[in-house]
Amino acid sequence: MPETPRRARQAVTLSLVFGAVLLAGAATGAWGDPGAPPHRPAAAPAGAGFATGQDPAGTTLSEQQAEHLIGVNGDRWGAYYSAQEYAEFSQGLDGRYLGVGLSVGRGQDGVTVVSQVQPAGPAAAAGIAPGDRLLRIDADPADRLPVTEVVARLRGREGERQAGSEVTLAVRRGDGEVRELRLRRALLDTQQVTVERLDKGVVRITVRAFTSGVAEQVRAAVRTAHAGVVLDLRGNSGGLVEEAAGTAAVFLDGGPVGSYQDRGGTRELTAPPGGDQRTPLVVLVDGGTMSAAELLTGALQDRSRAVVVGGRTFGKGTVQQPSRLADGAVLELTVGRYYTPAGRSPDGTGLTPDVPAAGSEDAGALALRVLAGLGTRT
């Protein structure tokens, strides 16, 4: 099954931890609730176009017309969702998703490999482990599908997106026999925050995406850090800007976090007073650090609150606004950029770390060495 532009965009936003779309307005309330009824009646006839910057909310557009609008505007991050797809997307931002509890990646040799398995999920119960090769999804060879399509298929096609629906996987561990496993999809917690307590009072906090409640989880973890924090944002594809800004506020005693544009002008993001400014902090990033994760990184870097270690970030600095159409579908269009406190936009260029990891150097070990050089809080 070829990957259409629509499926490619949806796979990024719906399947890769729901993070590539920033959804700043939805998170902060600047645009209202996209799940609410349309805020104005249908105003455009079928096939009508929109000027750049015009809000299509409440209008009548078919999927084909919506896709045409995205294409005409050259909107790389624009996307169209049916009402059901957007409901699932919103559910994911609340920290839950439908799936079998595994993540996949593509090796240099082109094979599809299981990278993570969620404890107590269907995949773990079936005995799948990180490093296993995923050979087939139902009857289709996994290696012939884009990774985004693999992830989308694990979550289910139209008509399969419900708890209890089945997917058949063929997996192999090393040179062992091929195992064919039939798994039932379940509603799972995304477990976006992992906390590791290392030696000498150092805490490593890994945040995979910014869903509801992440900022408070980070805040609780920082309270247990006595010597320093490594905030690992590698592979973090973004999410709710409200949660990213809230995470920045954990480490800032008030002041600017960033700003973003929408159709109503420029919105400022600020941190309330009272954040922890004493605990040494290193932020770990790579080419998979995107969107809201770049906003957080830029805020801590510009405010001289953290040393950023690793690789250049992805470079997604745009804001998408969700608009509910007359039939309940949702069209997201790019409406502007966001900026760090110093006025930088990472869009297209990414953010450069203060301490780059060279070549095959272990970025995680480098982060710990940099943190040790920062000393302890007083």
Nearest-angstrom CA–CA distance, 280 and 273: 18
pTM for the model stands at: 0.69
Q: State which amino acid sits at residue 156.
A: G
The residues near 117 (Cβ < 8 Å, ≥ 6 apart) are 101, 102, 103, 123, 124, 128, 129, 130
SS3 helix, strand, coil % of the chain, rounded to 5?
Answer: 25, 30, 45
Q: What is the pLDDT of residue 96?
A: 67
Q: Which of 20, 55, 359 shows the shortest CA–CA distance to 209? A: 20
In angstroms, the Cα distances linking 174 to 39, 107, 130, 145, 177 are 55, 14, 11, 21, 9
Q: What is the pLDDT of residue 158?
A: 66
Q: What is the pLDDT of residue 74?
A: 85
22 and 238 in contact (C-beta within 8 Å)? yes
Q: What is the pLDDT of residue 120?
A: 83
Question: Which CATH code is given to the segment(s) 99-189?
Answer: 2.30.42.10
SS3 at position 323: strand
Q: What is the pLDDT of residue 315?
A: 93
The pair phi, psi for residue 261, each rounded to 5°, is -100, 145
The CATH number corresponding to 193-317+335-373 among 3.90.226.10, 2.40.10.10, 3.40.50.2300, 3.40.50.1100 equals: 3.90.226.10
Q: Could you state, in order of their start, the residue ranges of all structural domains in the chain?
A: 5-96, 99-189, 193-317+335-373
Q: Which long-range contacts (CB under 8 A, 24 or more apart) does 161-164 make?
A: 161/84, 161/88, 161/98, 161/185, 162/98, 163/98, 163/187
Q: What is the pLDDT of residue 2?
A: 37
Per-residue confidence in pLDDT tens, the chain, 378 aa:
333 444 444 433 332 222 333 333 232 222 223 333 333 222 222 333 444 457 788 888 888 988 888 888 888 888 888 887 777 666 556 666 788 988 887 776 789 998 878 888 999 999 999 899 999 999 999 998 887 688 788 888 766 778 899 999 999 999 999 999 999 999 887 678 999 999 889 999 999 889 888 999 999 999 999 899 999 999 888 888 899 999 999 999 999 999 987 777 888 999 999 999 999 999 999 998 999 999 999 999 999 999 999 999 999 998 888 899 999 889 988 888 999 999 999 999 999 999 999 877 899 999 999 999 997 554
Give the Cα-Cα-Cα angle 187, 189, 191 (nearest 5 degrees): 155
Q: State which amino acid sits at residue 139.
A: A
